Amino acid sequence: MCSKPLIDFDLIFYILKLFIQILHLNLSWLFHPTPQLKFSFQRRMTDDIQTQPISDALQSKINLFRTTTDLRTFQIDTQTDKIFVNLNYLAEISEYFHILRTGSYTEKASEKVILDDVFTEELVIFLSYACPEGFEFDRTINQQNITALAYFSDRFMVPWVKQEIKKYFKSEDFKQEIYDTEMLIQLCYLLRAQSYASADIDPVFQKIARYGDVAAVDKAVAILPDKESRIYIGERIIFFRPYTFTVRPQSYFNWNDNRARLFF
Model pLDDT, residue 134: 87
Tally of domains within the chain = 2
**Which letter does DSSP use for residue 133 in this model?**
B
Closest CA to 40 of 185, 163, 169, 165: 185
Residues 155 and 133 in one domain: yes
Residues 198 and 80 in one domain: no
User: At residue 113, what are phi and psi to the nearest 5 degrees?
Assistant: -130, 145
Residues 32 and 146 in one domain: yes
Residues 159 and 186 in one domain: no
Residue 222 has pLDDT above 80, yes or no: yes
Report, as an integer, the average pLDDT of 156-172: 97
Residues 81 and 104 in one domain: yes
Residues 148 and 190 in one domain: no
Residue 16 is assigned to a structural domain of this protein: no
Segment 3-57, tens digit of pLDDT:
545 555 555 655 655 555 444 444 444 445 554 455 445 544 444 445 568 899 9
Domain holding 119, by residue range, is 23-164
Residues 55 and 145 in one domain: yes
Residues 112 and 60 in one domain: yes
Closest CA to 190 of 138, 152, 237: 152
- Length reported for the chain: 264
